[in-house]
């Protein structure tokens, strides 16, 4: 019992979400990571998460006077970065005809419901989403930079990637502060509330997957890329076979 009590709550969060987290990572990599070369698909991916991050940052404001405010690490907020990237891809007037899709509305409704029940349940979403963005964002940023190099693009390699930019401190230091704040919050909660936080941790990835599934066109982009890779593979295999035969002859 004491051994379990010594386990940091953030580790428990990782353990209970491991399976659904792996599924979510695979989905996001397939839908957004591979398809990020298509601006329309990448912009749509930003769009589905924009409202969620905006809501959570509103909650950080509303509860800044509580322990929840300790999760608000300097440089962590992303709303302005999302808006900057969306304006880059969709134009400065992108908000004029914008209406959140059904899956995003369902996500926001769930956040509203648990906030009414207990605002501290929102910390599961804040923790997982920002830790994910800080880690995954750096991977996507490197992929984007590499892609621009490979295509000899004249664009600045990080244009349209403000959401992945860290301007204060380092990714490691920010993640450490967020984890410390999350563990501190969990220590102040009763056991039932901690268990509920673990359940909400799993719900984070279930809801994330629903909104990522709603991104249109990503599947087709992935299929085309895989087809191209397949054609190239066949070509090089045939070329190798021919050269080998020619060399032996």
In DSSP notation, 79-96 reads: HHHHHHHHHHHH-TTTTT
CB under 8 Å to 103, separation ≥6 — which residues?
A: 48, 210, 211, 213, 214
| Per-residue pLDDT at 220 exceeds 80 | no
Secondary structure letter of residue 166 according to DSSP: -
| pLDDT score, position 162 | 85
Asked if residues 31 and 218 have their Cβ atoms less than 8 Å apart, the reply is: yes
User: Which of 97, 178, 122, 124 shows the shortest CA–CA distance to 13?
Assistant: 124
Q: b vs e for 50-86, b when ≥16 Cβ sit within 10 Å of the residue's Cβ?
A: bbbbbbbbebbeebeeebbebbbbeebbbbebbbebb
**126: confidence class by pLDDT, cuts 50, 70, 90:** very high
Nearest C-alpha neighbor of 168 from the set 140, 127, 134, 139: 134
pLDDT band at 22 (very low <50, low <70, confident <90, very high): confident
Count of C-beta atoms within a 10 Å radius of residue 243: 10
What pLDDT score was predicted for residue 146?
54
Q: Which CATH number fits domain 2-216: 1.10.3210.10, 1.20.910.10, 3.60.21.10, 3.40.1400.10?
A: 1.20.910.10
pLDDT of residue 19: 86
Q: How confident is the model at residue 244, as a pLDDT?
A: 45
Q: Tokens for 67, please give them.
A: 């322990």
pLDDT in tens, 26-63: 666 666 555 555 777 788 888 999 999 999 999 999 99
- For the cut 70, the answer to whether the pLDDT of residue 137 exceeds it is no
**Confidence tier at 233 by pLDDT (50, 70, 90):** very low
pLDDT in tens, 63-109: 999 999 999 999 999 999 999 999 998 999 999 988 999 999 999 99
- The rounded distance, in Å, linking the Cα atoms of 209 and 20 is 9
Residues 6 or more apart whose Cβ sits within 8 Å of residue 109? none
Compute CA 201 distance to the chain's CA centroid, rounded to the nearest angstrom: 14
């Amino acid at each position: 019992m004491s051994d379990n009590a010594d386990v940091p709550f953030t580790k428990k969060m990782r353990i209970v979400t491991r399976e659904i987290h792996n599924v979510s990572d695979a989905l996001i990599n397939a839908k957004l990571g591979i398809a990020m070369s298509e601006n329309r698909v990448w912009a749509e991916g930003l769009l589905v998460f924009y409202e969620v991050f905006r809501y959570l940052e509103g909650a950080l404001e509303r509860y800044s006077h509580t322990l929840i405010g300790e999760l608000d690490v300097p440089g962590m907020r992303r709303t302005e970065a999302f808006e900057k990237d969306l304006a880059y891809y969709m134009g400065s007037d992108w908000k004029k005809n914008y209406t959140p899709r059904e899956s995003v509305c369902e996500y926001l409704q769930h956040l509203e419901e648990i906030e009414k029940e207990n605002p501290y349940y929102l910390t599961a979403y804040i923790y997982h989403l920002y830790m994910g963005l800080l880690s995954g964002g750096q991977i996507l940023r490197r992929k984007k930079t590499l892609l621009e190099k490979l295509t000899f693009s004249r664009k600045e390699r990080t244009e349209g990637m403000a959401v992945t930019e860290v301007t204060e401190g380092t990714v490691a230091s920010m993640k450490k502060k967020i984890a410390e704040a999350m563990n501190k919050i969990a220590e102040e909660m009763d056991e039932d509330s901690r268990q509920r936080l673990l359940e909400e941790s799993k719900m984070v990835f279930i809801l994330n997957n629903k909104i990522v599934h709603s991104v249109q066109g990503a599947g087709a982009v992935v299929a085309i890329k895989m087809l191209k890779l397949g054609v190239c593979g066949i070509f090089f295999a045939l070329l190798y076979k021919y050269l080998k035969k020619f060399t032996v002859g």
